[in-house]
Amino acid sequence: MEDSEMVSDENNTRDDVSIQIEDADDTVVSSIGNKLESIAPLSSERCIYRIPQLLRRFNEAAYIPCLISIGPYHRGKESLQAMEQHKLRYLRTFLDFFPNKSLQDYVKALRELYERARQCYAETIFELGVDGFVEMGVDGFVEMMLVDSCFIIVFALKKCHWLGVSNDPIFETMWMSNAIKLDMILLENQLPFFVIEHLLHLACHDSEPRFNILGLMRSHHFFERFYVKTYTDIVPKHFLDFLLHCFMPSSPNGLPQGNGWWEVMPSATELHQAGVKFKVGRSRSLLDVKFSKGVLEIPVLVIDVVTETFFRNLIAWEQCQDLTNPYMISYAVLMDLLINTPNDVSLLIEYGIIKNWLGDNEEVCLLFNKLCKDVIMGDSKMYFSSLCEDLNAYCEIRCHEWQATLRRDYFNTPWKIISFFAAVILLILTLLQTIFSIKH
């Protein structure tokens, strides 16, 4: 009897444990189910990202706006609050300059774009609420789109002299407008381009002149500060994408030649010692680097305080896409290969290829040496692979190095050239005298 009671107790214990496990399983299943339901589906519209931590560790400041927040990622930051009043002033200027539509018309139009615009942002968007940061709602997002879009439009109109700038603090100081333009090219500080274009089209619909934002930028060289000499006709996803397209080759001839592999090659000093001559390229594109008949032609590059921010954000934008031909990464890698030491920088400065406004050649060297740290090449192709192959092949021919040594050591000044030929003439005369003496 006691044995049967013990067996019954054991069975009851097992049943209780089984029920507890099932309850625990149900809790886990419910928890996972809730998490799965809360995941938003990924959109093909995604084009505005937060910079991956892997890329930002070498220079965090290169990705963060210093003056103004555009878009939601940096909205509400205390360090950027001073510009919020300027944004509202520009909104009022926008409404006065385009009086055919009301504030309500613009809000209604942007609310219709909410879903598409929200899908352009790859990250969850937060805003500062009463109890701290909370996920941004529809109203907050629409307000942000309107205020920031109007600021960009009015800023462009003022920059291009369609609107007056008197009594405007942004244009009364030397640094503010340039700082705003720099903030406008940061990957984390973007608005979808179609939002700005739609708002401007709506504002100009029943009035003259009819503006478009790209037209303003083309006609007044808005981004010339960032090495842009020619402007693309491609409608971009945002301003940083616009800059990237301005550098892309416009024809299939611009695609990488050779095997497309990521090549290594000698530095500028080593190339010079091997007989390669350097020349300033006259092209309007940074990518138009050429090597022909022993001459390496490189377009001039001005290095200043914005150069690193410019390159880092373009490289980050390329890294956030699945590109076969990452042009700016290829250019940065090429410059990194050319520049290993401050002596390489000095050589490129000597030939007018680099204009160093930073002052310190060591800084320029470190800039390019760190620019592509932690950049993932993947299956992409190097735009300059054929160029690297040609330079490597040229350096393997020893006579080129001998000729360079001869020019460098014996023909680098007029006096050395005269001395060399005088020595040759003296040697010939001595030889002739010796032969004449032997015969007689």
One digit per residue, the tens of pLDDT, for the chain of length 440 reads 555 555 455 555 555 556 666 666 678 787 787 777 767 667 778 999 999 998 988 899 999 999 999 999 999 899 999 999 999 999 999 999 999 999 999 999 999 999 999 999 988 888 777 677 788 899 999 999 999 999 999 999 999 889 999 999 999 988 999 999 999 999 999 999 999 999 999 998 766 677 888 888 877 777 777 766 666 678 899 999 999 988 877 555 555 555 677 888 999 999 999 889 999 998 878 899 999 999 999 999 999 999 999 999 999 999 999 888 899 999 999 999 999 999 999 999 999 999 999 989 999 999 999 998 888 887 788 899 999 999 999 988 754 454 545 455 555 566 566 766 677 787 787 887 788 777 66
Task: Look up residue 86 and give its two tokens.
Answer: 């300027």
Answer yes or no: are the C-beta atoms of 199 and 94 closer than 8 Å.
no
| Number of residues assigned to the chain | 440
Answer yes or no: are the C-beta atoms of 278 and 296 closer than 8 Å.
yes
pLDDT at 397: 77
Provide the residue type at 136 as one letter. M
**Helix, coil or strand: residue 269:** helix
Q: How far apart are CA 103 and CA 106, in angstroms?
A: 5
Provide the whole-model pTM: 0.83
Answer yes or no: are the C-beta atoms of 156 and 239 closer than 8 Å.
no
Q: How far apart are CA 396 and CA 225, in angstroms?
A: 39
Q: How far apart are CA 76 and CA 146, in angstroms?
A: 16
Q: How far apart are CA 190 and CA 241, in angstroms?
A: 10
Q: How far apart are CA 291 and CA 278, in angstroms?
A: 9
The residue whose two tokens read 């950049």 is 375
- Show contacts of 333-336: CB within 8 Å, 24+ apart: 333/262, 333/372, 333/382, 333/384, 334/289, 334/384, 334/387, 334/388, 335/301, 335/368, 335/371, 336/368, 336/369, 336/371, 336/372
CA 424 to chain centre: 56
The residue whose two tokens read 């032969």 is 435
β strands within 228-336, DSSP E? 277-281, 290-292, 295-299, 301-303
pLDDT at 402: 45
Provide the residue type at 114 as one letter. Y
